[in-house]
Chain A
């Protein structure tokens, strides 16, 4: 089963849930966890698995061939992303601004802008026993996460044929990176906190996922810290609440030290069991 774990707001426990759920499920089943929060990937800190393979993350960008260039300047006109400046004697390409649409390259009358791969990050593949962990990491200064997210998903699918569980730790927010990361999942777990910020940001995620007709449910983290508005919202909106993880300083401390928490905290462990049970029995009836 492919599931994505997402949250509108950062810091609600998305990574804590991802790494603990993946590790715990891997006690019995084959599990692949993919960290698609490529801007700030943190799952690896908790898993400490040996590195099996590292591949570079790329996107195609045009590379100027001065010998062929007619200096017509059309390339700059085609580019909607301001990634090309055509000076009288030079054509300058700014790869970070390029969206890899190929227009300049294929419409250049002199074939002076062939597309070549530019490094934008890396994809690391770690594994031990039942657990495989794949992490996409964007280079600092790169603006576009989506090409790397796509590449990490493609790589993952080629590596996870015999796995029972595929878990995508999605980037926070509700914009294009989150949409891309949740696209391939059969079910999406939204994790949130029972606070005004948590509720508001959850409602934005719900709007995004509803628009795309996705299957999703909610895990309430740090239960007890706030009020019951989040619970009421889920009820009113007919969104299943899959589990409730109580507020605990122990969980926060384990997290801060990069430790897994499920074998130390029984409440957390029973939440993981509820989530597994829900995914196996109820996820597709709602």
Chain B
């Protein structure tokens, strides 16, 4: 008998502030120990604020390359500066040097340097961590150094580590808090996903972003479901969103009302389902059950 394969659920939102992380945390709470949790929202990695994780492993993360000039070999010919399209080569008193913030790591300078004074070195971009949450999930998360580049690669690495842990610990599901936007980090978040959960809210902006991010998801041909948060904020737009979901065969998981309980829970470092008397419990539970059945 083959072990059942690990499934990957990615929660994304296009627009920020729709409650994506809070809802992902609620799903994690419901799933108990069946899952590995991955925080791929590397620009705003907030999952740890609800999960109070104990770090078990931390490792430096290198992404791409960065040029380095050996001052002893540099003959000050300036050819590197001529070819660099990123204005990353600075002339100083001694010799030419690299502005690490600007360097794209393309290596052009190193290919043409007549003295072979330039080499590419791996670029330290942040750290990734494997932690144990207060609910005993393993959480893979990361932080990008200030202004760090290539968060797509960090996302990819977080997901790979999560997948390895899921296999080793025989977990069935990797639950991913995905990146915002439609660019490089979100594309990396979607790669290899089995199901995408879109979290949106009824505002013109969020609806606009939802349509853009869905176009992207569609290019990946991944099964998609949607959850509308703050659904009563604007019932006209809620109706339009539901029509859009129906038109594109996207399953509506739940509609949640605008409620400051999410913030109240966050202030205590709680996930929303730990709060007493929230009306959300049945809807979120039903959403999670629908997610499970979509995976099978």
Contact = CB atoms under 8 A, between A and B. Distances in A.
Interface string A149-183: 00000000000000000000001111111010000
Contacts of A81: 106
B147 A211 contact: yes
Interface stretch (B2-10, B90-98, B148-156, B246-254): B148-156
B178 interface: no
Contact of A256 (B108, B151, B233): B233
B107 interface: yes
Contact of B44 (A143, A177, A195, A197): A197
Interface string A128-151: 000000000010111111000000
B287 to A, nearest CB: 20
B85 A9 contact: no
Given A99-B106, A253-B233, A140 B215 contact: yes
B224 interface: no
Given A99-B104, A196-B49, A256 B212 contact: no
Interface string B120-160: 10000000000000000000000110111101100000000
B146 A208 contact: yes
B149 A175 contact: yes
Select the residue from A140, A144, A177, A211 with max chain B CB neighbours within 10 A.
Answer: A140
Chain A interface SS verdict (over half): loop
B258 A252 contact: yes
A78 B106 CA distance: 8
A257 B260 contact: no
B184 A195 contact: no
B212 to A, nearest CB: 6
B8 to A, nearest CB: 20
B78 interface: no
Contacts of B112: 107
Contacts of A145: 183
Contact of A40 (B46, B209, B230): B209
Interface residues of A, number: 56
Contacts of A42: 15, 204-205, 208-209
Contact of A195 (B43, B149, B266): B266
A9 B201 contact: no
Contact of A9 (B46, B86, B260): B46
Given A39-B182, A99-B104, A143-B183, A10 B148 contact: no
A11 B17 contact: yes
Contacts of B181: 39-40, 171-173
Given A10-B180, A143-B183, A144-B183, A200 B16 contact: no
A111 interface: no
A10 B106 contact: no
Nearest to B220: A141
A255 interface: yes
Interface in A86-101: 99-101
Contacts of A100: 85
A8 B208 CA distance: 21
B189 interface: no
B266 A80 contact: no
Nearest to A103: B108
A256 B204 contact: yes
Interface string B207-221: 011001101100100
B127 to A, nearest CB: 13
B203 interface: yes
Nearest to A38: B183
13 contacts: A8-B44, A11-B17, A40-B180, A40-B182, A40-B213, A42-B204, A80-B64, A101-B85, A102-B83, A103-B83, A140-B215, A196-B46, A196-B49
